[in-house]
Amino acid sequence: MANKLLSTEKLSIGCVAPPGASLVNKTGAWRTQRPVFKQKDCIGCRACDLACPEGCVFGDPKKKQFDFDPDYCKGCGICAAECPVDDIDMVMEEK
């Protein structure tokens, strides 16, 4: 029987976590860049939402408005790279 990571446990370096485990490990502090959703040319395709490996892009495709959860976004830029209309910019994180 496989061990399951409890929601109160912290991940150690090099471990593999089950799906949903990142909810207790806010990874946004790793980010050096963040996405800026311009919301000018969005076509509501959800490519950004579907491509995000952390599942932190959210929005309403009917309103063509998307954003990200800064607590979990690692700044990988996949959302911007997958946007077919170039409606997402990656900018340096300011702290």
What's the CA dihedral at 92, 53, 51, 89 to 10 degrees? 0
For each of the chain's 95 residues, which pLDDT tens digit applies? 444 444 455 656 665 656 555 667 787 788 899 999 999 999 999 999 999 998 999 999 999 999 999 999 999 999 999 999 999 999 998 76
* Domain regions of the chain by residue span: 22-92
CA distance 53 to 60: 19
Pairing state between β 65-68 and 88-92: unpaired
φ and ψ at 63, to 5 degrees? Answer: -85, -10
Strand partners, 37: 88
Q: Tell me which fold the domain 22-92 belongs to.
A: Alpha-Beta Plaits (3.30.70)
